[in-house]
Amino acid sequence: MPDDDSPWPRVVAHADMDAFYAAVEQMDNPELKGKPILVGPPSGRGVVLTASYEARPFRVGSAMPMARARKMCPQAIVVPPRFDRYTAVSKQIMGVFATFSPKIEAISLDEAFIDLTGSERLLGDPEKIGRALKEAVREATGGLTVSVGLSGTKFVAKVASDFRKPDALTVVPPDEAQTWLAPMPVSRLWGAGPKTVEKLHALGLRTIGDVAARERDWLEHRLGRMGQRFHDLAHARDPRGVDGRRASKSIGSERTLSQDISDRERIKFYLRRSAEQVGQRLRRKGRVAFGVQVKLKTHDFRTLTRQHRRDRPTDVAEDLYRDGCALLEKFAEAGPFRLVGLSAYDIAHAGEEPQGDLFSGNASDRAEAGTARRHDLEAAIDTLKERFGADVLKRADDLSRTRSTPNLDFLADGEDKDEG
């Protein structure tokens, strides 16, 4: 282990394959090499899963409707996806990472954090380790390139891996990280979605350096807990460890359906059910969640997710459900889907959150008051359920609804999953 005053108290790598699906297709079929390709359904309906780097100057890429991408880049060759192949290559890549460190956190098929702290004596300095990692991936896969970022925190490593894609290696020594981050746009901050970015801009904060220059209290006053977090990240402080059990930090409920569905109202029905179960588990554990994720699995077994980070945490099913419905709008695919799930992540202990003044009358405080009322109501239902069982609960829950919504079956059935 390096000593405490080493410039690298921790060594964290983030590795992200370049144009992953497209690169696999180009590797397997030499005729596609060096050409613009779009991986996605050739039918013209549906969305582009990824574009090769040769196609990217035409401003086409992931999640764009295929028909539009073909118009913008007519010379592109459309290649149907082969998910089994990508999964197999992903296993190869993760296997390579495992030869560098046992501490790996896979984020998706093509992306992982690797904790390399203590590996320097064996593998050399971080730059050398990065080069070795890239070479090992190239060799094991038969030619694929990966972009690697190395620094002392997960946050900086992730920003670094994306910095000069493709085929890049970016090493940011921890003591230079804050300066290195400063010119980056605030959208790079972990947890800053489009709405939050707007809010930050309205506060006159456009770069990470702008955020770092503000007092922690100033940020906390305006952005709550999120402000504290941004302050930390902007100073390149990120205590998160590389954790192979990352999934255990979420609480989810999902269900594989007996028949594939496309109808949005039916999907919402299952989202509500999952939201009820997740809310109940959060309350039982005394936790609240900042993050809400919706997961859909397509009939051809592709898992799609969309997530949202709330400004205020919640343990209320109604909030989770509302976020879930908003997230549903963000899926480009129409279905049919074979699985519907909702989970809460970024979980905190209830009571740690600063409470707003319920009587000050601004919109977010009113929203919080609504959440508090709803919390009490749902907690009362929890108690009823514990005392009298699911039947009473069903009726109590019906009474609690002001508008007509599908009734819930509280008896857990199907593929309910509690990762918490």
CA separation for the pair 333, 306 (Å, rounded): 12
Long-range contacts (CB closer than 8 Å, 24 or more residues apart) made by 183-187 = 183/207, 183/208, 183/209, 184/159, 184/208, 186/210, 186/211, 186/230
The one-letter amino acid at 353: E
Choice from 10, 12, 14, 50 touching ligand TTP (CB under 6 A): 50
Instruction: State the DSSP code for 32.
Output: G
Cα 23 to its chain centre, rounded Å, is 23
Q: Which is nearer to ligand TTP, 194 or 239 (CB)?
A: 194
The reply on whether position 14 binds ligand TTP by CB under 6 A is: no
The reply on whether position 331 binds ligand TTP by CB under 6 A is: no
11, 152 Cβ separation under 8 angstroms: yes
Other C-beta atoms lying within 10 Å of the C-beta of residue 391: 11
Q: Which is nearer to Mg ion, 89 or 344 (CB)?
A: 89
Q: Is 359 exposed, middle or buried (0-12, 13-18, 19+ CB in 10 A)?
A: exposed
Edge-to-edge order in the sheet of strand 287-298: 251-261, 337-349, 287-298, 303-314
| 105: annotated active-site residue | no
- Catalytic site residue from 25, 54, 105, 111: 111
The reply on whether position 270 binds ligand TTP by CB under 6 A is: no
Least Å distance, CB 249 to Mg ion, is: 23
Long-range contacts (CB closer than 8 Å, 24 or more residues apart) made by 319-323 = 319/279, 319/371, 319/374, 320/275, 320/278, 320/279, 320/289, 320/292, 320/344, 321/271, 321/272, 321/275, 321/276, 323/292
166 binds, among Mg ion, ligand TTP, none (CB under 5 to 8 A by kind): ligand TTP
Which residues from 86-145 bind ligand TTP, rule CB under 6 A?
A: 110-111
Least Å distance, CB 72 to ligand TTP, is: 17
Instruction: State the DSSP code for 141.
Output: H
* Chain positions contacting Mg ion, by CB under 5 A: 16-17, 20, 110
Q: Which is nearer to ligand TTP, 18 or 315 (CB)?
A: 18
Q: Which is nearer to Mg ion, 303 or 355 (CB)?
A: 303
**Side-chain-facing half-sphere of 90: CA atoms under 13 Å:** 16
Instruction: State the DSSP code for 162.
Output: T
49 binds, among Mg ion, ligand TTP, none (CB under 5 to 8 A by kind): ligand TTP
Tokens of 401: 């609804």
Choice from 118, 166, 241, 335 touching ligand TTP (CB under 6 A): 166
Q: Which stretch binds ligand TTP (CB under 6 A): 1-9, 13-21, 318-326, 389-397?
A: 13-21
The reply on whether position 27 binds ligand TTP by CB under 6 A is: no
The reply on whether position 21 binds ligand TTP by CB under 6 A is: yes
Q: Which is nearer to Mg ion, 51 or 344 (CB)?
A: 51
Tokens of 95: 């296997």
Q: Which is nearer to ligand TTP, 63 or 106 (CB)?
A: 63
Choice from 12, 13, 15, 49 touching ligand TTP (CB under 6 A): 49
Cα 318 to its chain centre, rounded Å, is 22
Least Å distance, CB 187 to ligand TTP, is: 15
Choice from 33, 35, 41, 62 touching ligand TTP (CB under 6 A): 62
The reply on whether position 65 binds ligand TTP by CB under 6 A is: no
62 binds, among ligand TTP, Mg ion, none (CB under 5 to 8 A by kind): ligand TTP
CA separation for the pair 32, 326 (Å, rounded): 38
134 binds, among Mg ion, ligand TTP, none (CB under 5 to 8 A by kind): none
Other C-beta atoms lying within 10 Å of the C-beta of residue 110: 23
Q: Which is nearer to Mg ion, 148 or 156 (CB)?
A: 148
Q: What is the binding site for ligand TTP (CB under 6 A)?
A: 16-21, 49-50, 62-63, 110-111, 165-166
Active site (catalytic) residues? 111
